[in-house]
Every structure is written in C-alpha cells, then in structure tokens.
Amino acid sequence: MYSEDELIRQAQAGDKEAFCLLAQAYERRIYSLALHYSRERYDAEDLSQEVWLKAFAALSMFRFESSFYTWLRRITINCFLNHRRAKSYRWHSQTSESASSEDLAITNDAGSQARVLESTLQNQLVVEKVMQALAAVTPQQRLVFLLKHQEGMTYEEISKELGCSTGTVKKSVSRTIAKLREELGVNEEPESYMSCAAAGILR
C-alpha cells in the first residue's frame, strides 16, 4: 500500500495506474461538487472526469506546498468556471430509481418495503427541492455556496480562489440560503418542515 505522496510521485513520473489509485481517494468529493454544480448526473460525470484529466496533465506542477486536495480543488474550481455549457434544466432525480430498486430488492416484507419507499420518496422530495433552490441562483453563487457549505472553506479562501471580494462571497451564500429556505418552505411552515425533515432525512 502506497502513501499519497508516493502515489503522487509515481503519477508525476507518468504512472497512470498510480494516478487512478490517487483519484479513488477523492473521486466522490469531486463528483459530488460537480453534481451539485451542474445539477445533472451525466454532466457531473463528464465534468468530474475532465477535472481528473486536467489534474493528471498538470500534476508536474504540484510541488507539495499544499495538500493534494487543496490543489485538486483549485483545478476543480477553474474547470467549473470554464465550463461554458449553460443548460437550463430541471433536476432529474435518478436517486429514487436506483436507490428504491436496490432497497426494495434487499427487503422482503411488505412493511419494510413501505417504510423504505416512504423514506426514499421523502428524501427524493427534499433533494429535489434543494436542487431546485441551487438551480435558482447563478452558477457563481452556487459554487460559492458549495465551497462554503460542502467544502468548509472560509469566506477569505473562497474570495481568493474565485478572485472576488469577501462581501460578494457573503452575499452569494446569503442569497443561496434564502433560496433554499424559500424552496424548502422553512419560513412559511417551520413546524411541518421540521417534521418532514425529521421523518425523512434527519432520521
């Protein structure tokens, strides 16, 4: 078993197998970012794999001055910002199809199936609402929100990465949260929302 640094050095020498092993450690995070940014599964796969190809091509520039993921995230952000395909589409949830079929396959009794189905449907509903909220903001606002909320970067780090002011970052986060609250109906019916969330995602 190789360490990350060893894998990086091997990949820098042109070892594609070592790079694939390296990619396995971060593929979900990158894919997740790509998915929430693009809001479409096929686009997310293309976008995330484009990130990996660019990372491999630029790997010789990695000087071990920061963590590999920080360097990789920078490439991801640049790749997202250069991604010009501005498609206006709705979030087509495919989680329900795959997840429900899987869940249903592994459960035997009807009661369990009903509970899993209910839970899955609730999850699907919330995911769809979150995706709709993300679709309602600009790509930059979406990216800022994802970097803050999903990646845990500070306002200052985001402003440096995106080349904008801290105020812009704050406004983007605030705007996206307002959209999320609007879509999730938090402001209107906090009690029912909470119960729904508790029954579904927040189990």
Binding region for another protein (CB under 8 A) = 11-14, 16, 19-20, 23-24, 27-28, 31-32, 35-36, 41, 45, 49, 52-53, 56-61, 93, 95, 98-99, 102, 123, 126-127, 129-131, 133, 146, 148-150, 154-155, 170, 173-174, 177, 180-181, 184, 186-187, 190, 193-194, 197, 201-202
Of 111 and 152, nearer to another protein (C-beta) is: 152
Q: For the chain, how are helix, strand and coil distributed in percent, rounded to 5? A: 75, 0, 25
The Cα–Cα gap between 138 and 153 comes to 19
Measure Cα distances from 130 to 90, 144, 182 in Å: 12, 15, 10
Question: What is the nearest approach in angstroms of another protein to the Cβ of residue 184?
Answer: 6
Measure Cα distances from 108 to 98, 105, 123 in Å: 17, 8, 21
Q: What sign for the dihedral angle of Cα 136, 138, 139, 143?
A: negative
Question: What is the nearest approach in angstroms of another protein to the Cβ of residue 90?
Answer: 14
Question: What is the nearest approach in angstroms of another protein to the Cβ of residue 45?
Answer: 7
Asked if residues 91 and 39 have their Cβ atoms less than 8 Å apart, the reply is yes
Of 52 and 68, nearer to another protein (C-beta) is: 52
Question: What is the nearest approach in angstroms of another protein to the Cβ of residue 174?
Answer: 6
Question: What is the nearest approach in angstroms of another protein to the Cβ of residue 110?
Answer: 23
Of 105 and 110, nearer to another protein (C-beta) is: 105
Of 74 and 129, nearer to another protein (C-beta) is: 129
